[in-house]
Amino acid sequence: MSRLSPQRPARRVAVVGAGPAGLYAAEELIRQSRHDVRVDVLDRLPAPYGLVRYGVAPDHPRIKSITGSLRKVLDDPRVAFHGGVELGTDLTRHELLARYDAVVYAAGAAGDRRLGIPGEDLPGSCSATAFVSWYSGHPDARPPLSLDTERVAVIGAGNVALDVARVLARPVADLERTDMPEQVLAALRDSAVREVVVLARRGPRHARFTPKELRELGGLDGVDVIVDPGQLTVPGSADPDRTAQANLRALADLAARPPLGAPRRIALRFFTRPHRVLGEHRVTGLLTERTHDGPDGAPQGTGDFTTFPVGAVLRAVGYRGLPLDTVPFDPTRGVVPNDRGRVLDTEGMPCPGEYVTGWLKRGPSGVIGTNKLDSAETVALLLEDLDRLSGRQLPDLEGLLIGRGIRPVGLSGWARIDSAEQDLGATRGRDRTKIADWPTLLRLGRTDHPVPVEPEELPWPS
Ligand SMILES: Cc1cc2nc3c(=O)[nH]c(=O)nc-3n(C[C@H](O)[C@H](O)[C@H](O)COP(=O)(O)OP(=O)(O)OC[C@H]3O[C@@H](n4cnc5c(N)ncnc54)[C@H](O)[C@@H]3O)c2cc1C
């Protein structure tokens, strides 16, 4: 039974970020029956879904299909999407707080961790973040590497390292079915890369891959996967970490497969940490040191150095939250300081009406579903706090944006981008081909009437 009070005006909540955490927060806000709530979801991009669209690997369409249920949240009449509106650029934190009863920050973790070694900024060395954004068709991304080299090192022992290695190594014919922009496919078609070496500084017991992604490597056509069986230790049956056990089994299966002389290979090497990226004008190699797992589990150097001749280095050592206007920020952890989702100021006191969820709340960890639980926790506290607030008359966001000449991309604008991408994909026998440039996205998103997009109008050769 609804406990809504008929005389109170609807409460207004802004959610900053239309990734999974933001959309799960919006879903929680409209699902409950305690308050009548209207939710404005703002995103700096004209397209919703955050890293589901711009991070999850294009060759994992089943995971990407979660956008179907996220879309239902945006379709609810109590939720409005305002794409192309950036907090910190188009409006300030205080302007937002003046217009809503509560604000939920769900801006993710768009930065990346660095290795902190010499040579890291040489041309040919880049973050997996930049590479993933590029192959995912993020409109801010530029080609971060020229793929004119035979051997690439990927540093990291998580699934992002495997995603990147797979995209670099697997036959382009397999990627043609995905939503990758045409110019990305063209670059991968011309790629000279033949070998991807994935380097992990600790042993396989501590790798953060998931068994499913490891097993997937073994099924790639045209790719040999090389694992040194000598680097695998047999897990004790009492080992409590079941993921580690499953990873070791998956690695042992890969190690047992003889190479078939396939055109490309992915080599997984453990106990290897990068020391220096070599090269004068661009990357020519990577100096590494062999490690062993120390008593506290941390990798310890052995003084045994090796040079890998590689023409590119990709670091996949983690994403990192970025500060959001004047919202309190912990630069060490790359998160907004919070107590279960209530934003805390520098004194550790709650900032009234401000909440955080997702990667910006807890750091870059967990799967998409983790954000659902996280947002439920944040929204439960927000609703508790709303009980104590009497409804206020608030100025609206639209007036502010119109005054600044900002035209947000609404849900119908996103629908036009969505169908233009599907139409473009259909011309090539795919479900979708992403549009990756700002002018076309905005032209489609901000037009009030549907405009068909002809492939030849788009800024790449069809
Ligand atoms: C490469 C990669 C692959 C992944 N693959 C998988 C997978 O296969 N399966 C899985 O379960 N999980 C996967 N994940 C994890 C999953 O994507 C995250 O758990 C999830 O996207 C985090 O949600 P979020 O909403 O906190 O952040 P995000 O998804 O990053 O969303 C944040 C949103 O905020 C917007 N934003 C940022 N700054 C501003 C601003 N100033 N103003 C307005 N809007 C702003 C951004 O544009 C973005 O849309 C992957 C992650 C990465 C990086």
96-155 pLDDT tens trace: 999 999 999 999 999 999 999 999 999 999 999 999 999 999 999 999 999 999 999 999
Q: Which of 28, 56, 113 to mutate to test the pocket of ligand 1 (most atoms within 8 A of CB)?
A: 56
Q: Which of 51, 52, 325, 374 to mutate to test the pocket of ligand 1 (most atoms within 8 A of CB)?
A: 51
Residue extents of the structural domains in the chain: 11-110+321-408, 113-318
| Secondary structure of residue 377 in the 3-state scheme | helix
| pLDDT tens for each residue of 146-189 | 999 999 999 999 999 999 999 999 999 999 999 999 999 999 99
Mean pLDDT over 356-360 rounds to 98
Tell me the CATH number for domain 113-318: 3.50.50.60
Mean pLDDT over 180-199 rounds to 98
Please answer whether residues 225 and 257 qualify as being in contact, where contact means their C-beta atoms are separated by less than 8 angstroms.
yes
Can you give the C-alpha Rg of the chain in angstroms?
24
Name the residue with the closest Cα to ligand 1, atom 37: 107
Residue 294 burial by Cβ neighbours in a 10 Å radius (0-12, 13-18, 19+)? exposed
- A 10 A CB-CB count for 81 gives 28
**Cα–Cα distance for residue pair 175/297, rounded to 1 Å:** 38
DSSP 162-184: HHHHHHHHS-HHHHTTS---HHH
Tell me the CATH number for domain 11-110+321-408: 3.40.50.720
Question: How many Cα atoms within 13 Å fall on the side-chain side of residue 208?
Answer: 15
Q: Find which of 20-24, 390-394, 445-449 is predicted with most confidence, using mean pLDDT.
A: 20-24
Phi and psi for 43 in degrees, rounded to 5? -145, 145
Cα 52 to averaged position of ligand 1 atoms, centre (Å):
6
Q: Which atom of ligand 1 is nearest to the CA of 368?
A: 11
Name the residue with the closest Cα to ligand 1, atom 48: 50
Name the pairing type of β-strands 195-199 and 264-269.
parallel
What pLDDT is recorded for position 409? 97
- A 10 A CB-CB count for 387 gives 8
Whether the per-residue pLDDT at 441 is higher than 60: the answer is yes
Mean of pLDDT over the chain: 93
Distances (CA, A) of 205 to 165, 236, 460: 20, 11, 45
The response to whether residue 311 sits with its C-beta less than 6 Å from ligand 1 reads no
Residue 124 burial by Cβ neighbours in a 10 Å radius (0-12, 13-18, 19+)? buried
Which DSSP state fits 230? G
| pLDDT tens for each residue of 218-229 | 999 999 999 999
Spatial CA neighbour of 82 closest among 353, 446, 374: 446
Name the pairing type of β-strands 285-293 and 195-199.
unpaired
